[in-house]
């Protein structure tokens, strides 16, 4: 897989499930992941960056992931801060904690077990042109809600001529660092029978702009957010 230089420390069971273990990866076992069914959750308004130090990193992880063992936290923080190109991700039934250099990001899980992402996580994926920012924010929040509910969202961005850009958003349930968003354009009359999770339209939408990080339309959103400052 053609990813940017990024090391993600995942649960060993997750790495095994993915069927690939990068030579430079650091892995930490996950806590037992069991959650009751339901879909009660609150989508965050923004991705919150936590400034970490040797003294605060451990407590911040524990605050985000209270059920994670201190032994795993200690191992994950060995050599803190990590080199610039490395990301460490810890996962538990509560959520995820990503460490990039001296920054930390706490990502909570919904009761369905999927990450609750802020709308800004979808910036620089598919961007509907000429649509006001506040409206796009509402659309991205709807996508974030769908992702939190079931990990996927099939969306139609309908342009002024009635054509639609069909985008299949998805996320790895066990590694929320990456978003996937392959898309296809269909003319008016070709897409209306598609099974969709949501349809977004605005009389100013004339095209979309998609950011391509690789041929799979795979976006490491936390990595991008940090490295583009």
210 with 132, same domain: the answer is yes
Question: Is residue 174 in some structural domain?
Answer: yes
CA 177, CA 221: separation in Å to the nearest integer? 6
What pTM, to 2 d.p., does this model score? Answer: 0.75
> Residue 217: pLDDT band by 50, 70, 90 thresholds?
low
157 with 76, same domain: the answer is no
Number of domains in the chain: 2
- The Cα-based distances of 164 to 44, 129, 168, 179, 184 in angstroms read 28, 13, 13, 21, 8
Q: Is the dihedral of CA 117, 122, 128, 133 positive or negative?
A: positive
Q: What angle do CA 178, 35, 149 make, to 5 degrees?
A: 50
Question: Is residue 2 in some structural domain?
Answer: no
Final residue before a domain boundary, out of 79, 108, 137: 108
Give the pLDDT confidence score for residue 37 in this predicted structure.
38
27 with 72, same domain: the answer is yes
130 with 176, same domain: the answer is yes
Q: Give the strand pairing for 126-128 and 208-210.
A: antiparallel
88 with 171, same domain: the answer is no
Could you tell me the residue range of the domain that residue 60 belongs to? 12-108
> Residue 215: pLDDT band by 50, 70, 90 thresholds?
low
Q: How many CA atoms lie within 13 A of 110 on its CB side?
A: 24
Question: Is residue 3 in some structural domain?
Answer: no
124 with 104, same domain: the answer is no
Which range is most confident: 12-26, 183-197, 198-212? 183-197
Residue-wise pLDDT for 165-190, tens only, equals: 999 999 877 667 778 888 899 999 99
CA 218, CA 169: separation in Å to the nearest integer? 10
């Amino acid at each position: 897989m053609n990813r940017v230089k990024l090391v993600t420390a995942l649960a060993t069971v997750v790495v095994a499930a993915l069927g690939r273990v990068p030579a430079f990866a650091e892995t930490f076992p996950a806590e037992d992941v069991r959650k009751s069914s339901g879909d009660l959750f609150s989508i965050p308004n923004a991705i919150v960056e936590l400034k970490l130090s040797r003294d605060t990193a451990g407590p911040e992880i524990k605050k985000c992931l209270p059920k994670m063992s201190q032994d795993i936290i200690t191992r994950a923080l060995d050599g803190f801060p990590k080199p610039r190109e490395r990301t460490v991700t810890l996962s538990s039934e509560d959520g995820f904690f990503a460490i990039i250099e001296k920054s930390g990001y706490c990502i909570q899980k919904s009761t369905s077990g999927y990450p609750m992402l802020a709308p800004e996580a979808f910036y620089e994926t598919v961007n509907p042109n000429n649509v006001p920012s506040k409206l796009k924010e509402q659309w991205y929040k709807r996508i974030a809600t769908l992702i939190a509910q079931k990990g996927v969202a099939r969306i139609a961005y309908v342009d002024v001529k009635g054509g639609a850009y069909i985008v299949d958003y998805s996320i790895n349930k066990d590694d929320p660092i990456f978003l996937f968003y392959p898309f296809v354009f269909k003319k008016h009359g070709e897409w209306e029978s598609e099974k969709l999770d949501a349809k977004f339209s605005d009389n100013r939408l004339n095209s979309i702009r998609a950011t391509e990080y690789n041929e799979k339309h795979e976006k490491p959103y936390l990595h991008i957010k940090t490295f583009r400052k």
